[in-house]
Chain A
Amino acid sequence: MFIKLQDGVKKYGQGDAQVYAMDKVRLDIDKGEICVILGPSGSGKSTLLNMLGGIDSMDSGVLLVDGRKVSGFSLKELTEYRRTDVGFVFQFYNLIQDLTVIENIQVVSDIAPNPLPIDSVLDSLGLRTLVHRFPTELSGGQQQRTAIARAIIKNPKLLLCDELTGALDSRASKEVLQYIEKVNETLGMTILIITHNAAISKIADRVIQIRDGKVVSNEKNNAKVRAEDLVL
């Protein structure tokens, strides 16, 4: 298993106000899979993503990623983990507004030990003509493609996408999902997409359903479709 999470627990608050954002979560994900984590708002999807990405730490449980015990990492090791092994794509892109498309990508390529060739990333995501534009000059879809380029330029083992189509219309969403598929096929990256939109789960190799901090199902998707065929 590429990702193995055993009894992951994350609590917030104390006493009667205590809430379990993750309640003994267990999951296994294979290398190279596109995995969709499905759940309503407040189900703990983002918390799970934060743990997998090394942004936050669990209160208890064991997380293994590519054989390494991420849950036992120090802060310094977590920084290195995010620097080299993990790429993030967020719902609202989180691009640096004072930098152009290419500069936002360079923010990551500059510190990555083995970055992908920037030209090929730009071409594969259709960003060549947009390189000198600032985020405010781009559409939502273009910004999200920039965010994807920034995330994959370091050639991470794991790409985490938090509601990556949440701010996009259906056409742009489909376009972005097609790029995600392409990235998975060409680079063999393991991709996790968290969403509340069940329609997106059809492109996944594995669908994990989460509710109230618990995993309610973890199934392989035997009826996988191409992103271009999705109805959103």
Chain B
Amino acid sequence: MITAESKPIDEIIEYIRPYRRIILAGCNECVTVCSAGGRKEVGILSSALQMAFMKSGRNLEVKEITLERQCDPEYVEELAPIMDQAEAVVSMACGCGVQEVARRFKHTPVFPAVNTKFMGASERQGVWAERCQGCGECVLAVTGGICPIARCSKRLLNGPCGGSTNGKCEINPETDCAWQLIWDRLKALGLEDRYEEIMEAKDWRTSRDGGPRRIIKEDLA
């Protein structure tokens, strides 16, 4: 899923300082799962913003709403009937949701309330970690199901650098060395020999380097 973290409240206050009426829009998908922008977080942020405004002697009207998916026009449309009640939208969705709201409502400013982080998985309660960079051409079949592009700090495709120590990355003892994980997995699968097959220079066109990407599914489009 896509993970996100709340922005500092002072930053959000700074964005909405000129306004008195806002829509605070959560999203029921990824940001709900990672507790950054679901219904619960909408309620908490709404109270916090109103209190902050009150402290400075101003009133802030907040219309709270949590959409099923902010990255989907069908659900974003649900904002249309209430849009005239607001001078601005604060979106608690990931960057995709923020942009979809901005695209639909051309005359209303939209501000992000979270920093979108990465595509990841939950390691344990309350901890998420990066797993995929969306390079567009998956290499997991040859790396034992562990992605060196997302999980090696240098996205090295052919093995660990000289900074791998006790299974950890040189940048930080909290970060696993992806190549240690890959090696352990190849061993467990009896595929150590595969390590010496060179992974050729990657074609990054399928990644962000090829420009903004689209998928067109002919049978649906």
State yes or no: do A and B come from one complex.
no
Query: B-side interface residues toward A, CB under 8 Å?
Result: none
